[in-house]
Structure 1
Amino acid sequence: MCNSHKHFIIYKPYRFLSQFKSNDSKQQKKHFLGELYDFPEGIMAIGRLDEKSEGLLFLTTNGQTSDYINSQKVAKEYYAQVDGDITLEALKQLKNGVEIGFNGKKYKTKPCKAFKLNETPELPMRSQKIRDERHGPTSWISVTLNEGKFRQVRKMTSAVGFPTLRLVRVRIGTVLINNMQPGDVIEVGKLLR
């Protein structure tokens, strides 16, 4: 029976919601994952990326696979372009955990890996231009989390004074985004074991 389940990895484009459809009239003009591919009945996203974030997303028809990946706290790596030239002190704060708002309460993030990238990562162009260097410097960082609160990376970089301008999830567990382009969908035999 497990073999009848379908699993996909996708590159969620900027401005897409990590869901399939909505009856909410406010969301009629939004973009949904179902526009990318003819997914099977019962498909669900494992974890989410907010509308302004992009990158690697797992989809499955198997609730147990979804629970396994979420409950095991599989590491997720993000590349974030932040406003300003991030400092060593800010990176240290990110690594140690920072206080963010979550569900109307204060929450201290768990320790994580965070470092500045020496070069701009090779990522696809985004559909909407990000401000340029005339408005001040930006820097790219890698943040690897074992948790995933709503808009967590964005809240963390803001908390240390370097708001996120672009956010791309590049890895979930051992699965890398590699050369995928926004909107790419790849069916796979399994996700993670």
Structure 2
Amino acid sequence: MSLILFNKPFQVLCQFSAQDDKATLADHLKIPNIYPAGRLDYDSEGLMLLTDDGKLQHAIAHPDHKAGKTYLVQVDGVPDAAAMAKLQAPLDLGDFITKPCQAMHIAEPEWLWPRNPPIRQRADQPTSWLAITLQEGKNRQVRRMTAAVGLPTLRLVRSAIGNISLATHPLMPGEWMQVSPKDLTS
């Protein structure tokens, strides 16, 4: 049984099959018979887990078993206490209401790699970093949450799934490593 940690680069599809000349997992991983345990948007980057074990894939990805996922989010603007409280509470996004989550304003992570292409910079508009940990993971949820509180997402990096973190398993975008499935819970 294999468990692969992969640092998905910006603008890579979370699939192995080609689509519209976009980069895919096949451009970075030449390991046969592995499959993603969950997805990450094309315009998001960071930690993905892949495995060749269907039961493990189900345990990681299924909503009943989901480990917390932590996202580092660069937003347009500076959050106030009200925006942070809204992010943490159940938030009505129109088609669903989020579960409560952990959200905090953080300094820019020192270990984070520069994005290619870089985020646009506007001298008249400050940016901030948030750490958001979800127990669920709906399509584009973090981006929709930050937009709903007036803080559009500029950059989204998944930094941790359960106990596995890019801060403790440093990988540059496109790099991968094999770990033990025990690392998910220890």
Q: TM-score, normalised by structure 2?
A: 0.92
Give the C-alpha shift of residue 69 in structure 1.
Answer: 1.7
Partner letter of residue 116 of structure 2?
A: S
Matched, 1:64 2:60: no
Between the two proteins, the alignment pairs up a number of residues equal to 179
**CA shift digits 1:150-187 (9 cap, x unpaired):** 11100100111101000001110000112211011101
- What is the aligned-residue RMSD (CA, Å)? 1.3
- Structure number having the greater strand percentage: 1
Match of 2:72 in 1: 79
* Residue of 89, 100, 118 corresponding to 2:93: 100
> 5+ residue gaps in structure 1?
none
Query: For 1:73 and 1:49, how far apart are their aligned partners in 2?
Result: 15
Matched, 1:7 2:7: no
Give the C-alpha shift of residue 6 in structure 1.
Answer: 2.0
Match of 1:181 in 2: 172
Give the C-alpha shift of residue 68 in structure 1.
Answer: 1.0
| SS of equivalent residue, structure 2 residue 151 | coil
Partner letter of residue 68 of structure 2?
A: A
Match of 1:20 in 2: 16
Give the C-alpha shift of residue 33 in structure 1.
Answer: 0.7
Match of 1:160 in 2: 149
Q: Percent same amino acid among aligned pairs?
A: 41
Query: For 2:32 and 2:179, how far apart are their aligned partners in 1?
Result: 14
Query: For 1:7 and 1:120, how far apart are their aligned partners in 2?
Result: 29
| SS of equivalent residue, structure 1 residue 37 | coil
Dislocated runs of 4+, deviation >6 Å: none
**CA shift digits 1:12-56 (9 cap, x unpaired):** 00000111113xxxx231000111121112x11111110110000
Q: TM-score, normalised by structure 1?
A: 0.88
Query: For 1:189 and 1:72, how far apart are their aligned partners in 2?
Result: 18
Query: For 1:135 and 1:81, how far apart are their aligned partners in 2?
Result: 16
Partner letter of residue 166 of structure 1?
A: R
Partner letter of residue 120 of structure 1?
A: E
